[in-house]
Amino acid sequence: VFHDLPLFYLIGDPGLLRGVAKKMSSPPPIKEIAEPAEAADVFDTALPILPIALAGRVKPGRPNTRHATAVMAAIEQAVSHARAGAAAAVVTNPIQKSVLHKAGFKHPGHTEYLAELCAAKRSPVMLLSCPGLKAVPVTIHLPLQEAVAALTTDLIVERALTTAAALERDFGLSPPRLAVAGLNPHAGEDGELGSAERDIILPAVRRIAAEGIDVAGPLPADSMFHAEARRAYDAAICMYHDQALIPIKTIAFEFGINVTLGLPIVRTSPDHGTALDLAGRNEADPASLISAIGYAGLIARRRRRFG
């Protein structure tokens, strides 16, 4: 049924899934499984689902704190399967954080929650990938003013080294080539438009180069994302959220995915949000989720070979 995708199973509410499937012109068969190992036998003929029941009926597009427990249980189960080796990777769907916050979810985002579940030793890194571009924001979910203030040479170096290792291990890009963006217009124009390039970013680039990594920068952010410029590097190290996300979503809105680096497990996700306005209408574009599942399989296979 899903012959282009690696073997996967869903963790969620079977009733909800069957209801959604009914709206499709040719819905896939769905079959409940009791544990991950059963997925392989089912996958050729049906979508395997490991059931976690929701607390009640779902109104599509209407977030409800009653469902928060089941949502968190599904994530926790997926992580525990991956940590135990029963699954090779976790692919997460977008969550409605505001609902989870109200139900006691304490984390700024999905990724930080996963890091805690995995007892990760270093802070996780968000790598965004689409056909033609990989980009890593050094700072992520902070107001822009705070993101600028949070930039340090150490942080840039840490993110860049994690990224370089992942390009090699997870994507087979060896030796990896990094491009580091400037923060200010024209990368500060020799200090006329800001000093972060000279004081924070250039020292980071030098330390990254001293580790033997092929790295360029700080580069003017506006001219590093067109097709020809992108051929010169494997990943862009960006200083703030939108500096990475604007080019990714401009180039390939449908196919961007998020890969979390620095976790002991493989984790990918689509790079879009919950799109509540499209919920239950069978109109959402699944391209990003399909890419995320595909890449999770590829990365898991490469890590096994590498490790």
What letter represents residue 251's amino acid?
I
- Nearest-approach distance from CB 172 to a copy of itself, in angstroms: 26
On the 0-12 / 13-18 / 19+ scale of CB atoms within 10 A, 282 is exposed
Binding mask 59-98 for a copy of itself (x = CB under 8 A): ---------------------------------------x
Contact stretch for a copy of itself (CB under 8 A) within 22-30, 66-74, 141-149, 157-165: 141-149
For position 144 contacting a copy of itself by CB under 8 A, the verdict is yes
- Kindly tell me which of 58 and 187 has the beta carbon lying closer to a copy of itself: 187
The residue from 228, 277, 305, 307 that contacts a copy of itself (CB under 8 A) is 228
Q: Alpha helices, DSSP H only, in 120-240?
A: 144-150, 153-171, 196, 202-210, 227-230
Residues between 158 and 217 with contacts to a copy of itself, criterion CB under 8 A: 183-186, 188, 190, 193-196
Q: How many CB atoms lie within 10 A of CB 248?
A: 25
- Quick one: tokens of 281? 């209408």
224, 237 Cβ separation under 8 angstroms: no
The residue from 247, 262, 270, 297 that contacts a copy of itself (CB under 8 A) is 247
- Nearest-approach distance from CB 148 to a copy of itself, in angstroms: 5
Relative orientation angle of helices 110-117 and 68-84, to the nearest 10 degrees: 50
For position 218 contacting a copy of itself by CB under 8 A, the verdict is no
**Which stretches of the chain are assigned E, i.e. beta strand?**
10-12, 30-32, 47-51, 90-91, 125-130, 133-137, 177-181, 214-219, 235-238, 257-261, 267-270
- Nearest-approach distance from CB 260 to a copy of itself, in angstroms: 17
- Nearest-approach distance from CB 256 to a copy of itself, in angstroms: 10
Long-range CB contacts (within 8 A, 24+) of 283-292: 285/254, 287/254, 287/255, 288/254, 288/255, 288/256, 288/257, 289/91, 289/93, 290/5, 291/255, 291/256, 291/257, 292/91, 292/257, 292/258, 292/268
Closest of 112, 116, 105 to residue 126, by C-alpha: 112
Contact stretch for a copy of itself (CB under 8 A) within 34-42, 155-163, 203-211, 223-231: 223-231
Closest of 57, 78, 71, 42 to residue 293, by C-alpha: 78
As a whole number of angstroms, the distance between CA 135 and CA 139 comes to 12
- Kindly tell me which of 174 and 223 has the beta carbon lying closer to a copy of itself: 223
For position 287 contacting a copy of itself by CB under 8 A, the verdict is no
Residue 261: strand pairing partners: 125
- Kindly tell me which of 56 and 185 has the beta carbon lying closer to a copy of itself: 185
- Kindly tell me which of 4 and 190 has the beta carbon lying closer to a copy of itself: 190
- Kindly tell me which of 52 and 219 has the beta carbon lying closer to a copy of itself: 219
As a whole number of angstroms, the distance between CA 75 and CA 113 comes to 9
- Nearest-approach distance from CB 132 to a copy of itself, in angstroms: 10
For position 223 contacting a copy of itself by CB under 8 A, the verdict is yes
The residue from 114, 138, 140, 235 that contacts a copy of itself (CB under 8 A) is 140
- Nearest-approach distance from CB 199 to a copy of itself, in angstroms: 12
Q: Which residues bind a copy of itself (CB under 8 A)?
A: 98, 140-146, 148-149, 183-186, 188, 190, 193-196, 221-223, 225-229, 240-243, 245-251, 253, 272-273
